[in-house]
Amino acid sequence: MVKFLKRFYLSLIFIFLYAPILVLIIYSFNESKSRGHWGGFTLKWYGELFRDRDIIKALYYTFLVALLSSIISTVIGTFSAIGIHNMGHFGKKLALNINYLPVLNPDIVTGIALMTLFISLRMQLGFLTMLLSHIMFNIPYVILSVLPKLKQMNKHTTEAALDLGATPSYAFRKVVIPEIMPGVITGALIAFTLSIDDFVISFFNTGPGVTNLSIHVFSMARKGVKPSINALTTLMLLTVVILLLLINKRTTKGDELIP
């Protein structure tokens, strides 16, 4: 009985989570443009999606920004984490608190604050400002995932390496980096996902001609129905499921998927 209730409840929640997406998937194969009736099976919206220069451009910028910003913020974040880890008590606390601000602040505040900065600096809003803003909100997450690994690391391992004749840079490459690697990878993944998914901060810090996927969907959604978005949603779902299955296979521990 209890078991049945549990299953029933969980099914309801999953229906709630997936129904909207499934409806979109069905629409994406609908010949008729109206949501109202089924006009027969078609793949034309997928064709339209790939011919839509704006969407392709938005996708290009989304991935370019995500890739660049996650690489840059992972590098800066990792070195900064090592630096912060070695700072004195007071400085460390201060640095960590400031680092935490973008995580705690609502995105909209971070977004408009950066925008006022860029405009005050007379910078033209566009690709560069968007990239900078992504790097800015990614770094704190990288630092927050690298720091715990540094804390776990035995203080004396580096000393042991130095004692065995390693130069500081050799010890860093062969001892420190491998130990904190899991944290660095987690940080990079978080940065990449956050960047791909971002809307609010990009919205305020991009300029004419440069949009990402979220911004593009937002402007399309405001204008009303556009069946190629349905096709896009279907493809996104497919990509996410495939990626998750791959990751799941590799880790086999579901818990590690939690971003």
Partner 1 sequence: MKNRAKFLAYPYLVWMAIFIVIPLFLVLFYSLTKGNIHDPSSLSFSLESYARVFEVNYLKVIWKSFKLAFISTLFCFVLGYPVALIISTVKAKYKSILLMFFLVPIWMNFLLRTYAWMSILSPNGFINRLLSFLGLPTLSIMPGQTAVVLGMIYNFLPFMVLPIYTVLSKIDRSVIEAAMDLGANKIRTFFNVIFPLTVPGIISGITMVFMPAVSTFVISRLLGGNKELLIGNLIEQQFTVQRDWHFGSALSIILMIMILISMAVMSKFESDNDNGGAPTW
Site for partner 1 in 178-197 (CB under 8 A): 193, 196-197
**125/112 Cα distance (integer angstroms):** 12
Question: Min. distance of Cβ 47 from partner 1 in angstroms?
Answer: 19
- Residue 9 found at the interface with partner 1 (CB under 8 A): yes
> Which range touches partner 1 (CB under 8 A), out of 13-21, 43-51, 123-131, 178-186?
13-21
Pick the binder of partner 1 from 15, 79, 170, 173 (CB under 8 A).
Answer: 79
CA angle, residues 101, 193, 13, in degrees to nearest 5: 100
Provide the minimum distance between the beta carbon of 79 and partner 1 in the complex, in angstroms, as a whole number.
Answer: 5
Q: Which of residues 49-78 bind partner 1 (CB under 8 A)?
A: 76
Using an 8 Å Cβ cutoff, are 236 and 216 in contact? no
64 or 95: whose CB is closer to partner 1? Answer: 95
* DSSP letter, residue 87: S
Nearer Cβ to partner 1 (11/185):
11
Residue 127: in which H helix or E strand, if any?
helix 127-152
Task: Give the nearer residue to partner 1 in terms of CB position, either 53 or 88.
Answer: 88
Long-range residue pairs from 200-204, CB within 8 A, at least 24 positions apart, any chain: 200/107, 200/108, 200/110, 200/111, 201/107, 201/110, 201/111, 201/114, 201/133, 201/134, 201/137, 202/65, 202/130, 202/133, 202/134, 203/111, 204/108, 204/111, 204/112, 204/114, 204/115
Phi, psi of 30 (to 5 degrees): -90, 125
Candidates 15, 43, 56, 98; binder of partner 1 (CB under 8 A) is 98
Burial class (CB in 10 A: 0-12, 13-18, 19+), 75: middle
Nearer to partner 1, 43 or 101 (CB): 101
Site residues for partner 1, 203-232, by CB under 8 A, read 204, 213-214, 217-218, 221-222, 225, 229-230, 232
**Which one, 209 or 259, has the nearer CB to partner 1?**
259
CA distances to 4, 90, 105, 140, 226 from 97, rounded to whole Å, are: 47, 11, 12, 10, 44
CB of 26 to partner 1, least distance (A): 9
Residue 191 CB, nearest approach to partner 1 (Å): 15
Contacting partner 1 within 109-148 (CB under 8 A): 109-110, 112-117, 119-120, 132, 136, 139
Judged by CB under 8 A, does residue 236 bind partner 1? yes
Is the Cβ of residue 43 or residue 242 nearer to partner 1 in the bound state?
242
